[in-house]
Chain A
Amino acid sequence: MIMDERQFLQQLAEHEGILFKICRLYRDTPEDREDLFQEIMYQLWKSLPGYEARSKFSTWLYKIALSTALVHFRRRRPAIVYMPALPEVPAQADENRLLELLAPLDAADKALMALYLEDLSYAEIAEITGITENNVGVRLNRIRARIKKHINASSWKN
């Protein structure tokens, strides 16, 4: 095996931020995110023997994490929380606004945007997703145009 459990956990601790972000991007409730996080951990650990050290650990991790997010079954329905009254001030952090903008995208476009927002190059995104660099560019342009339209309609900062 390319790394033992201790080394694997060390690598994971370094990259856990991306796992949390993917879980937030693809799941709405804390319980669903926890399920997905654990499923990604399982898939990463079981796929480890297939990891080749010549590719970057982060590239391999993105591939497994996004694949899992795309195919993992959602066990629970999103919880509906009834508020006693509407909040007086809609306090929205940038990250919540960002997730709202990404929410209407389909699962594949979310994956492309996550990799783009992580600042990966088109070549790296192409390697992870399996589509051509050219196609990555075309699709990201379309997605960005859609998002910009929403930003213009609602304004990014409140």
Chain B
Amino acid sequence: MEELKAAWQNMGAGHKSPEDLKTYLRKMPVRRGVLFQMILETTLFALFLVFYYDAFDGHKKPLYLNLLLAGAVGFVVLHNLTGIVQAMNVLKGKHLRDVLTAYSAHLKVFAAISVASRLAMYICLMLFFTYAIELNTFKVWVLIGAAFIFIAQMVVLVRTWLKRIDAADPGRFAGQ
């Protein structure tokens, strides 16, 4: 074990210049990138919300379908916005176990809402676009393709959240 300690303590650690460190503090380049991605996605959803009515003949669909679609997409936008705000938060807790307990509880709720809202949005999209259409072979295949893409996206989303929740499991620091 002493050899391992020596290897750890002599590990080539690298060095950042004071200018680099200052840049990180003031500009947060990676965080900006992540935030940009989140803002871009939220903006695209919001744009869909603004233009879908004219672009996809919302006036030819019943009011309840318009409300369902607008509500579901609007909820995803709102949820994304809370995600952007929360990404600015700092980790809180006296020690690692505390930090993970608080973070994990919050993450589980956020993940559940994220999955439920995406699922609701996909269902509402399918209902909206399939309302009163006359099905033919081509349209059936398009629908199957769309359903396949939605299901694949949901699987990826659920797996991603499960991985994140597992990584932050406070049980890893449970006392004995």
- Interface, chain A (partner B; CB < 8 A): 5, 8-9, 12-13, 16-18, 20-21, 24, 34-35, 37-39, 41-43, 45-47, 50, 63-64, 66-68, 70-71, 73, 75, 94-95, 97-98, 101, 106-109, 111, 114, 117-119, 127-132, 134-135, 138, 144, 147, 156
Contacts and interface: CB of A to CB of B under 8 A. Distances in A.
Contacts of A98: 4, 7-8, 11
A63 B96 contact: yes
Contacts of B94: 130
A34 B96 contact: no
B167 A12 contact: no
A20 B9 CA distance: 12
A41 B21 contact: yes
6 contacts: A46-B90, A70-B168, A94-B7, A109-B172, A129-B95, A144-B1
A29 to B, nearest CB: 14
Contact of B173 (A5, A64, A130): A130
Query: Could you tell me the dominant secondary structure of chain A's interface residues?
Result: helix
* B contact residues, range: 35 or more
Contacts of A95: 7-8, 10-12
Contacts, number: 135
B24 interface: yes
B93 A67 contact: yes
Contacts of B21: 9, 12-13, 16, 41
The 4 nearest A-B residue pairs measured at CB: A130-B97, A130-B95, A108-B172, A117-B8
A9 B80 CA distance: 33
B3 interface: yes
B11 A9 contact: no
A43 B97 CA distance: 17
Contacts of B93: 67, 130
Nearest to B16: A16
A9 B21 CA distance: 7
Given A5-B25, A20-B11, A35-B30, 4 more contacts: A108-B172, A128-B95, A130-B98, A134-B176
Contacts of A135: 175-176
B39 to A, nearest CB: 16
Contacts of B167: 70-71, 107
Contact of B4 (A18, A101, A132): A101
Interface string B68-109: 000000000000000000000011111111111001000100
A67 B29 contact: no
